[in-house]
Amino acid sequence: MNDTLISLATIFSQLSLLAFGGGNTILPEMQRQVVDIHHWMTAQDFSAMFALAQAAPGPNMMIVTLVGWHVASWPGVLVTTLAKFGPSSLLTGVVLHLWLRFKDKPWRATIQAGLVPMTVGLVAASAALITEASAQTWGLAAIAAGCALVTFKSKIHPLWVLAAGALLGLSGIGQF
């Protein structure tokens, strides 16, 4: 196992255990690690990977697979996938029966409610950093703002919004 794979394993197993409130909360830290610290890709590459992962079906953490692929091909995919999904899954298994035992305790609800602002703050930070990297021109910023507005105001399926964004990009509007 070479240094890159060890770094990937370390980073993603840590992120796995920090992802309270779902995958999007750890995007800023993932970006900081793979772009700023390890220089495996640019911020634009990272946001492109995020976009590709959003366009694919399944759980929203498929960006992990892509980062592994980009950095170290198939061994990278294997290592990042195991590191990202392994530790949190082990923890789920360990906590499962304890949790069912304590399900009526009031402190459980307190902890749950106390972690809500953290989740909101982290998702907002993800949105800011991903947008900063992907909305580099006025045209692209307009696409991002338009998509945000449409999905905020309506229940339109996200896939239509992504398709519209891709088509608008293809038309060249994003270059202005």
Partner 1 sequence: MTTETVATGADLALTTPSTRELFTGFLALGLIGFGGVLPLARRMIVEQRRWLDGTQFTELLGLCQFLPGGNIINLSVAIGLHFRGIPGAIASLLGLIAAPSAIVIALGVLYQHFQHDAALNHMFAGLAAAASGLLISMALKMLVPLLKKPVPLIIAALFFIAIALLRLPLLPTMLVLAPLGVLITWKLPS
Given 5, 12, 28, 72, the residue binding partner 1 (CB under 8 A): 28
- Candidates 1, 30, 16, 36; CA nearest to 86 is 16
> What minimum distance in Å lies between the beta carbon of 2 and partner 1?
21
Q: Min. distance of Cβ 109 from partner 1 in angstroms? A: 9
Whole-number Å distance between alpha carbons of 170 and 101: 54
User: Any contact of residue 172 with partner 1 (CB under 8 A)?
Assistant: yes
Q: Is 42 in the site for partner 1 (CB under 8 A)?
A: no
CB of 38 to partner 1, least distance (A): 14
Binding to partner 1 in span 50-69, by CB under 8 A? 50-62, 65-66, 69
When asked if residue 83 is in the footprint of partner 1 (CB under 8 A), the reply is: no
| Selection from 86, 52, 85, 83 nearest residue 66 by Cα | 52
Nearer to partner 1, 6 or 44 (CB): 44
**CA separation (Å) from 56 to 51, 62, 152, 164, 168?**
9, 8, 21, 15, 19
| Contact indicator for 26, 15 with CB cutoff of 8 Å | yes
